[in-house]
């Protein structure tokens, strides 16, 4: 048995990962996603549209000014029968213009509509905040998936190289008569299995890179991996109930449904305002005239200003019906809000437990990795002195690589769960991306 095998294994794995150690990092991927991702672009456009609700709502409180003008050609034939018939014909042009102004003084439904527009803008802002947090999670998850796929491929390649060395050793030992053909067959079977795993890992990495490409708009090149032996820290505050409380109040989805509930509550007030009188200030200024023909022409100017009061008496029951509809919709909005709070609390609990269990798994796999390496070294030594068989060494190698793979996955899953936890609490931002980015090599 080749005693230099452990160094060769480590060297092969390092070489497999070296091609990914220099290149784009998580922050660069996130910025590319902000510029390219179609879902985020849609949310940004929806935000711009939502902000227009405020000036639209303000129009009901501001005056309206209008200008009307007309010109008409008149051709009038008149017949008079007084002591005989007399026929006359008049041809003339009449024209005029009027400028009118109407300023609402009391229209309660317009004021309620304005407050609703403010809430609509808040809803649009919360919707965009949710889209931004989802983009961070999607970009980071796609990034982590590529890292894990790369690590899986590099591990398969390193394991294949190690088994190839074990296969050659088994063949040499069989030739000199110190081992049976069974050792060779076992090593060959393990080598073939690892070759199939390498093909699957290479295909999976290609798929994961294409997923990331769909988010950032370009082929990812040389993504940076986590620093060797990186230490993860627990979320702060380290209390699941605190995170649940934050999620129930500050989650972006809760804020969206909170705004919808407030809009629905004001809709009741708006519909009931249909019973209230309205008072407007109305002013006009105009000119009208006619000239030519047999009339001799005329020209007049007029200006008016006054108050216009309107009192609704009966509208066929439509106002009462809309009031009942608004009450029912408010109850629906309240139920939706409660459901959003429960989902936010559930997401926060799941993410927090994911972080906690992930960190525990990382510690366990770190210890298992050390034990697996010791077990491999012991089995190799035992194989050399004849107290272990070839399959023992192969199993120890498989255990070592499997543990290493699970450790890498546990670290990335824990970081993803941390991002989801902060998203559930409504506090996920670029600072969190930068914090994870600092863990990359």
pLDDT per residue as tens digits for the range 182-236:
778 887 888 888 889 899 999 999 999 999 999 999 988 889 999 888 888 899 9
Please report the sign of the dihedral spanned by the C-alpha atoms of residue 28, residue 34, residue 36, residue 37: positive
Asked if 224 and 150 count as a contact pair (C-beta separation under 8 A), the reply is no
The H or E element that residue 138 is part of is helix 108-176
- Phi/psi at 92 (nearest 5 deg)? -160, 165
CA–CA separation, 185 and 182 (whole Å): 5
The H or E element that residue 74 is part of is strand 64-81
Residue closest to 136 by CA, chosen among 425, 429, 441, 337 = 429
The pLDDT value recorded for residue 16 is 40
244: exposed, middle or buried (Cβ count in 10 Å: 0-12, 13-18, 19+): buried
CA–CA separation, 345 and 350 (whole Å): 9
**Residue range 5-64+105-275+316-437, CATH number:** 1.20.1600.10
Both structure tokens of 185: 């067959």
Q: What is the full per-residue pLDDT of the chain (441 aa) written as tens digits?
A: 333 333 323 333 333 443 343 468 999 999 999 999 999 999 999 999 999 999 999 999 999 999 999 999 988 887 777 666 677 777 888 899 999 999 999 999 999 999 999 999 999 999 999 999 999 999 999 999 999 999 899 888 888 887 887 778 778 777 777 667 877 888 788 888 888 989 999 999 999 999 999 999 998 888 999 988 888 889 999 999 999 999 999 999 999 999 999 999 999 999 999 999 999 999 999 998 887 655 567 788 999 999 999 999 988 888 999 999 999 999 999 999 999 999 999 999 999 999 999 999 999 999 999 999 998 888 888 877 877 766 777 778 888 888 988 999 999 999 999 999 999 999 999 999 999 999 998
Contacts 24+ apart (CB under 8 A), 425-428: 425/243, 425/246, 425/247, 425/250, 425/251, 425/348, 426/129, 426/133, 426/246, 426/247, 426/250, 426/251, 426/252, 426/254, 426/255, 427/246, 427/250, 428/133, 428/136, 428/137
CA–CA separation, 154 and 146 (whole Å): 12
Give Cβ neighbours of residue 172 (< 8 Å, ≥ 6 apart).
none
| Angle, vertex CA 296, rays to CA 291 and CA 298, nearest 5 | 55
- Looking up tokens 């990382």, which residue turns up? 362
The pLDDT value recorded for residue 289 is 86
Q: How many residues does the chain have?
A: 441
Identify the three-state secondary structure at position 438: coil
Asked if 1 and 164 count as a contact pair (C-beta separation under 8 A), the reply is no
Concatenating the DSSP letter of every residue in 89-112 gives EEEEEEEEEEEEEEEEEE-HHHHH
The pLDDT value recorded for residue 302 is 92
The pLDDT value recorded for residue 166 is 75
The pLDDT value recorded for residue 23 is 63
Asked if 113 and 54 count as a contact pair (C-beta separation under 8 A), the reply is no
90: exposed, middle or buried (Cβ count in 10 Å: 0-12, 13-18, 19+): middle
Asked if 142 and 212 count as a contact pair (C-beta separation under 8 A), the reply is yes
CA 54 to chain centre: 24
Identify the three-state secondary structure at position 259: helix
**Residues paired with 76 in a beta bridge:** 90
Both structure tokens of 135: 């983009």
Asked if 281 and 105 count as a contact pair (C-beta separation under 8 A), the reply is yes
Identify the three-state secondary structure at position 219: coil
């Amino acid at each position: 048995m080749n005693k230099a095998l452990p160094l060769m294994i480590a060297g092969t794995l390092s070489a497999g990962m070296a091609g990914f150690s220099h290149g784009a990092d998580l922050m660069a991927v996130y910025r590319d996603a902000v510029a390219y991702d179609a879902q985020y672009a849609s949310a940004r456009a929806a935000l711009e549209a939502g902000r227009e609700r405020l000036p639209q709502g303000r129009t009901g409180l501001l005056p309206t000014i209008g200008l009307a003008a007309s010109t008409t050609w008149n051709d009038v034939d008149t017949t008079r029968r007084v002591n005989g018939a007399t026929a006359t014909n008049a041809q003339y042009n009449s024209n005029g213009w009027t400028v009118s102004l109407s300023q609402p003084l009391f229209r309660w439904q317009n004021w309620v509509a304005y407050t609703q527009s403010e809430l609509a803008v808040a809803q649009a802002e919360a919707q965009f905040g949710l889209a931004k947090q989802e983009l961070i999670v999607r970009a980071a998850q796609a990034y982590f998936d590529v890292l894990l796929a790369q690590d899986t491929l590099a591990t398969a390649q390193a394991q294949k190289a190690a088994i190839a060395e074990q296969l050659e050793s088994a063949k040499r030992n069989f030739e000199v008569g110190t081992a049976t053909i069974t050792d060779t067959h076992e090593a060959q079977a393990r080598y073939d299995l690892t070759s199939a795993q390498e093909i699957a890992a290479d295909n999976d990495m290609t798929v994961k890179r294409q997923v990331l490409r769909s988010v950032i708009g370009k082929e990812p090149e040389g993504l940076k991996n986590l620093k060797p032996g990186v230490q993860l820290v627990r979320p702060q505050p380290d209390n699941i109930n605190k995170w649940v409380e934050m999620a129930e109040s500050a989650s972006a989805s809760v804020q969206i449904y909170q705004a919808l509930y407030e809009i629905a509550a004001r809709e009741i007030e708006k519909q009931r305002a249909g019973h209230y009188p309205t008072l407007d200030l109305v002013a006009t200024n105009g000119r009208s005239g006619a000239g030519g023909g047999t009339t001799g022409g005329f020209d007049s100017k007029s200006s008016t200003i006054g108050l216009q009061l309107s009192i609704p008496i009966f509208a066929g029951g439509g106002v009462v019906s809309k009031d009942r509809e608004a009450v029912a919709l408010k109850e629906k909005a309240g139920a939706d809000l409660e459901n959003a709070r429960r989902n936010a609390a559930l997401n926060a609990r799941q993410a927090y437990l994911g972080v906690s269990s992930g960190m525990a798994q990382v510690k366990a796999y770190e210890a298992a990795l050390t034990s697996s390496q010791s077990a491999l070294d012991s089995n190799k030594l035992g194989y050399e002195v004849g107290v272990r068989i070839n399959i023992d060494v192969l199993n120890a190698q498989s255990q070592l690589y499997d543990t290493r793979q699970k450790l890498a996955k546990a670290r990335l899953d824990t970081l993803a769960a941390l991002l989801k936890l902060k998203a559930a609490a409504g506090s996920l931002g670029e600072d969190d991306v930068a914090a994870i980015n600092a863990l990359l090599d």
